[in-house]
A and B are shown apart, each in its own frame.
Chain A
Amino acid sequence: MADEIKAAPPATFKVTIDNITIDVKPGTTILNAARQIGGDVAPPAMCYYSKLEGSGGKCRTCLVEVAAGSTADPRPMPKLVASCRTTVMDGMVVKNITSDRVLDARNGVVEFLLINHPLDCPICDQAGECNLQDLSYNHGEEGTRYQFARRTFVKEDIGPYIQLHMTRCILCYRCVFVAEQITNKRVHGVVDRGDHAAISTYISRAVDNDFSGNMIDVCPVGALTDKTFRFKNRVWFTKPVDAHRNCQTPGCCGKATLWMRGDEVFRVTTRKDPWGEVQSFDGKPGWICNTCRFDKKDAKDWVVEGLTTISRHSVIGTNKYETLQVPAETVKEVMKGQAPKLLMNIHNVSEVNNPNIHLSEIDRPAHADDFSESATHTPGQGESDQFGRTN
């Protein structure tokens, strides 16, 4: 074999995914090649996160069929492969949504992921931006065949900022990678094995690192949610706004998405790319620090850039915000200074969205006493509303 001359590998590999051919660099995974094509061709990923080293290969939702291994060896791969862990070969032919085997396997994977999932989406704060919700909507069955009790856990408090719901966890390990690679000290991990495996701090320690909040953003399900946003509002009723601030924390990019309701900032998250991952700025992932995320809940702390673009498939688009410009009140101008006659000021009657209750200032979920009579004060007769009208 000594006289065998190996041809130099080509600079780019030609790979065909769902009949679309693309040239990619050697060493690219099938998943990333498919993401370069974009659209429905890209397989869904629950555990793979391109900004986290070592992630992927666990959830099996990105399984694809390789119909031809390469130009040199065009035999198909016998089993479906995890596209996040398999690198492309020159002349590889991949089938994703054009393969019935793949769709069938994906349905099975989703059924497995949902075996222990409590499906408490009506309560869960992740609902509306949850990868598992999207996945089960596209691939899941309406009912379950599982007849046993779903696993439950003793509730663990992991600090003042992050709410852990272990029952919703799919063990993707993303949050563990975040703690390992972004923070300098990891205090949580996956303990126990098999059905008992759980995200835990082991001896109830608070996750209090300055970048621990990014665990919330990488979580594909509602296992880790923002305690300061808990139950405040449904995500599709909030107004996502791109904003930045000059953050002094080293490693914090200061660019974030504010989820607002009126002028109140209910939640701060990192900016997301079309794959649900944190956006990169200057080649670096735009993680934000806990100060930006949890302590800057005042619109004055931020410089607003504009509305966040929301995918038209997302339920968040039902918030109907298309522009940040509030149309000017012209009645007074047209009526020669005469204010419009208001038949009913809704705040005099309605108890919801009381302008005197500021939910963003409460750093925990609201309780009954936050809405009690003593906490509220409804504007009475003679007080003027936002247009300077009295009634």
Chain B
Amino acid sequence: MQALTNRVKEVSRKPMSLWERMYLPAVFKGMVITFSHIFKKTPTINYPEKKRPFSPVFRGLQILNRDEEGRENCTACGLCAVACPAEAITMEAAERQPGEEHLYREEKYAARYEINMLRCIFCGLCEDACPKDAIYLSETFTPADYQRKQFIYNKKDLLIPHPKEEPEAYKKALGNRAGNKTAN
């Protein structure tokens, strides 16, 4: 039969010679390759002790942003939810009452905001759609879990720490990319 490509290799069906039937030379040959790797550089990274640097365009877990005074940016306009191709985002809006000005930036805010991480495909369209700088995809993975219910992230899970009350946690949550931006 004519071969379709020139990469075809004929399989030899000849009976093995005595030298081949002894197997030991082949075993030694294999062990030489194995032990030679001890002296080579290891490509393995010991996660989580060591972490690989993220790509500058890495898209991870979402965070809900606050402004410099710690007020929530999100105004529940629903553009992230309508842009979401996986329909992972849901929200409910409420009106800001007098006395809540230090909590929310605009007169309307998201009383409830949820992202279903089982559905999220981390495409970043929510970040693109947001007119209020309120949602960003961070440099964190979604932690693994055994239960589905742990993947419904509400506002408590998503909000960035308060920049005035928890400045260190806030700085950590900003990540390297945001830190680099302010340094430049």
Which residues in A have their C-beta under 8 angstroms from that of B172? none
Known A236-B82, A350-B90; judge A366-B95 contact (CB<8 A): yes
List the A residue with the shortest CB-CB distance to B94: A366
Chain B CB within 8 A of A315 CB: yes
B111 touches A122 (CB 8 A): no
Known A122-B132, A123-B106; judge A352-B91 contact (CB<8 A): yes
A349 touches B90 (CB 8 A): no
User: What's the tally of chain A residues with a CB closer than 8 Å to chain B?
Assistant: 31
Task: List the one stretch of B9-17, B18-26, B148-156 in contact with chain A.
Answer: B148-156
Which residues in B have their C-beta under 8 angstroms from that of A120? 106
Q: Is the interface of B mostly helix, strand, loop or mixed?
A: mixed
B114 touches A352 (CB 8 A): yes
Chain A CB within 8 A of B63 CB: no
List the A residue with the shortest CB-CB distance to B95: A365
Which residues in B have their C-beta under 8 angstroms from that of A234? 77-78, 81-82
Which residues in A have their C-beta under 8 angstroms from that of B108? 123, 231, 365
Which residues in B have their C-beta under 8 angstroms from that of A127? 77
Question: B92 contacts which of A121, A344, A352 (Cβ < 8 Å)?
Answer: A352
| Complex: A156 Cα to B163 Cα, angstroms | 35
Which residues in A have their C-beta under 8 angstroms from that of B131? 121-122
Chain B CB within 8 A of A309 CB: no
**Which residues, 16 to 75 on B, are CB-close (under 8 Å) to A?**
75
| Complex: A389 Cα to B93 Cα, angstroms | 30
B90 touches A352 (CB 8 A): yes
Chain B CB within 8 A of A72 CB: no
B-contact bits for A136-159, CB 8 A (1 contact / 0 none): 000000000000000000000000
| Complex: A231 Cα to B131 Cα, angstroms | 17
**Which residues, 368 to 384 on A, are CB-close (under 8 Å) to B?**
368, 370-371
A348 touches B106 (CB 8 A): no
B148 touches A343 (CB 8 A): yes
Q: Is the interface of A mostly helix, strand, loop or mixed?
A: loop
Chain A CB within 8 A of B159 CB: no
A348 touches B149 (CB 8 A): yes
A122 touches B77 (CB 8 A): yes
Which residues in B have their C-beta under 8 angstroms from that of A365? 94-95, 108
Most buried by A among B81, B82, B111, B132: B111
| Complex: A346 Cα to B92 Cα, angstroms | 16
B92 touches A353 (CB 8 A): yes
Which residues in A have their C-beta under 8 angstroms from that of B92? 352-353, 359, 366, 371
Chain B CB within 8 A of A85 CB: no
- Since A231-B93, A350-B116 are in contact, a sample of 15 more A-B pairs with Cβ atoms closer than 8 Å, ordered by chain A residue number, is A120-B106, A123-B77, A234-B77, A234-B78, A234-B81, A237-B82, A318-B82, A350-B152, A351-B154, A365-B108, A366-B93, A366-B111, A368-B94, A370-B111, A371-B92
Give me the interface of B with A, judged by CB distance under 8 Å.
75-79, 81-82, 90-95, 97, 100, 106-108, 111-114, 116, 131-132, 148-149, 152, 154
Give me the interface of A with B, judged by CB distance under 8 Å.
120-123, 127, 230-234, 236-237, 315, 318, 343-344, 346, 348-353, 359, 364-368, 370-371
3 shortest interchain CB distances as A-B pairs: A122-B77, A365-B95, A234-B78
Q: List 9 A-B contacts (CB under 8 A).
A: A120-B106, A123-B75, A123-B77, A123-B108, A352-B91, A359-B92, A366-B92, A367-B94, A368-B100
